[in-house]
């Protein structure tokens, strides 16, 4: 009989505005639904929405893809609901740290009202870039967790050695740590033809519009290059004040740099969207995994990213560029290199990017730590 896993997170399908965390769980479910019976407890509406999803059933399980999903009415994931849904489960897998449902789950575990194994997946909550946002509040939160002893009887699901180091900086001597790398979505087998002219570049930015994703820095980079560049921006405007700052910078771009905002990129079309562009400029402040980076690679869109992600080996495979955030000139030089690149060199880069994505996909499935996490002892 398959082990039953209850995953608790703030948003799930049909929601998409939370970005990476939702994609991580979708890919997890799709990859291992044959081995495990996945049930998901989540809120009944997407991030920032006042209305619930349409066509969902309350007080029962909904079949969504390869999982059963229970939508908490009015966004209320209560302690009683967690206890009720946990009873037939073998493993409770809770996503995030600074969420009320995480606190409830750990309290219930400490009180003995949840007997099953509880696994916490921080999903980048302890990364330097993420933790600095509202850091005072988060430090108080962690202090309260320590004081109550809530971390004593849990296991940790981390995606990389980098995340392990970040966890140790915040949670002293954490126990029961397992590395389970985020799983990518299926790759594209064939690349579409994409014309690349010298002195021209189509650049895309796909992510939530927020301080963490660092769109303003991407604009600063492009303001210093020469050649005909078109920047296409996709993403939910999570922070309107930050977006206004972006608009001010976009208005100052020189005439040879054009730009457009195209709204939110539907997740189901993300690979075909990336395949239309030469380069993905993403100087993010922090990524726990960065699904959009993998999706760019799988679409033959050359990623130019910051060094604040687990993706660190692009130079060795010549499939992209990883640059320190403090080195603006290196970002500018790299983008200029891509602008000046000819069709033959560009096609070689695209093919290497796709092959890298193919290898990453198969490696992630074969060596996944999730098999250890979900097998109860």
Query: Alpha-carbon distance 258 to 236, whole Å?
Result: 20
Mean pLDDT, to the nearest integer, of 349-362? 92
Both tokens of 333, joined, read: 């030089």
* 200-361 shares the fold of 3-180: yes
Nearest to 328 by CA among 228, 222, 246, 237: 222
Mean pLDDT, to the nearest integer, of 58-63? 95
Query: Alpha-carbon distance 194 to 216, whole Å?
Result: 27
Helices 291-298 and 20-32, interaxial angle, to 10°? 70
Tell whether the model's pLDDT for residue 27 goes beyond 80: yes
Tell whether the model's pLDDT for residue 141 goes beyond 90: no
Label residue 84 by pLDDT band (50, 70, 90): very high
How wide is the angle at C-alpha 229 spanned by C-alphas 225 and 235, nearest 5°? 110
Model pLDDT for residues 221-278, shown as the tens digit of each residue: 999 999 999 999 999 998 999 999 999 999 999 999 999 999 988 887 899 999 999 9
Label residue 201 by pLDDT band (50, 70, 90): very high
Distant-in-sequence, close-in-space partners of 350: CB < 8 Å, separation ≥ 6: 191, 194, 300, 301, 302
Query: Alpha-carbon distance 265 to 301, whole Å?
Result: 15
Domain 3-180 matching CATH 3.40.50.720: the answer reads no
- pTM for the model: 0.73
Class of domain 200-361: alpha beta
Query: Alpha-carbon distance 346 to 194, whole Å?
Result: 9
Taking only Cα atoms into account, the Rg of the chain, rounded to an integer number of angstroms, comes to 21
Tell whether the model's pLDDT for residue 174 goes beyond 90: no
pLDDT of residue 368: 83
Distance set, CA 140 to CA 107, 110, 157, 336 (Å): 17, 20, 23, 45
Both tokens of 164, joined, read: 């392990």
Model pLDDT for residues 85-115, shown as the tens digit of each residue: 999 999 999 998 889 999 999 999 999 999 9
Query: Alpha-carbon distance 44 to 117, whole Å?
Result: 26
The phi, psi pair for 41, rounded to 5°, reads -105, 125
Mean pLDDT, to the nearest integer, of 209-230? 97
Tell whether the model's pLDDT for residue 370 goes beyond 50: yes
Mean pLDDT, to the nearest integer, of 328-335? 98
| Domain residue spans of the chain | 3-180, 200-361
Tell whether the model's pLDDT for residue 290 goes beyond 70: yes
Label residue 376 by pLDDT band (50, 70, 90): low
Under 8 Å between Cβ of 319 and 313: no
How wide is the angle at C-alpha 250 spanned by C-alphas 247 and 252, nearest 5°? 115
Chain-centre distance of CA 332, in angstroms? Answer: 25
Label residue 216 by pLDDT band (50, 70, 90): very high
* Mean per-residue pLDDT over the chain, rounded: 91
Label residue 377 by pLDDT band (50, 70, 90): very low
């Amino acid at each position: 009989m398959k082990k039953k896993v209850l995953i608790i997170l703030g948003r799930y399908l049909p929601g998409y505005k939370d970005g990476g965390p939702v994609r991580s769980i979708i890919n997890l479910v799709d990859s291992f639904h044959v081995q495990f019976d996945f049930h998901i407890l989540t809120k009944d509406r997407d991030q920032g929405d006042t209305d619930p999803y349409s066509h969902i059933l309350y007080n029962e399980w909904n079949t969504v893809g390869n999982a059963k999903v229970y939508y908490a009415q009015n966004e209320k994931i209560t302690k009683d609901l967690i206890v009720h849904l946990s009873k037939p489960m073998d493993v409770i897998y809770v996503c995030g740290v600074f969420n009320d449902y995480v606190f409830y789950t750990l309290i219930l575990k400490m009180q003995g009202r949840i007997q099953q194994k509880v696994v916490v997946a921080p999903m980048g909550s302890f990364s330097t870039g993420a933790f600095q946002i509202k850091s005072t509040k988060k430090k108080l939160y962690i202090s309260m967790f320590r004081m109550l002893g809530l971390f004593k009887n849990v296991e940790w699901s981390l995606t990389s050695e980098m995340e392990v180091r970040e966890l140790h900086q915040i949670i002293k001597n954490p126990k029961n740590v397992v590395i389970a790398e985020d799983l990518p979505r299926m790759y594209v087998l064939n690349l579409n033809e994409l014309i690349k002219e010298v002195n021209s570049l189509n650049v895309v930015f796909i992510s939530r519009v927020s301080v963490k994703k660092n769109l303003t820095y991407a604009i600063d980079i492009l303001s210093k290059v020469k050649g005909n560049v078109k920047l296409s921006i996709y993403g939910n405007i999570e922070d309107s004040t930050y977006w206004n700052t972006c608009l001010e910078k976009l208005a100052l771009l020189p005439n040879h740099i054009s730009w457009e905002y195209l709204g939110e990129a539907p997740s189901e079309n993300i690979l075909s969207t990336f395949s239309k562009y030469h380069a993905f400029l993403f100087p993010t402040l922090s990524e726990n995994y960065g699904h959009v980076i993998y999706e760019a690679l799988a679409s033959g869109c050359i990623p130019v990213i910051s060094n604040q992600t687990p993706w660190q080996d692009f130079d060795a495979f010549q499939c992209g560029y990883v640059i320190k955030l403090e080195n603006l000139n290196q970002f500018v030089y790299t983008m200029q290199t891509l602008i000046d690149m000819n069709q033959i060199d560009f096609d070689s880069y695209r093919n290497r990017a796709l092959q890298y994505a193919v290898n990453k996909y198969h490696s992630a499935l074969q060596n996944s730590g999730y098999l250890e996490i979900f097998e109860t002892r």
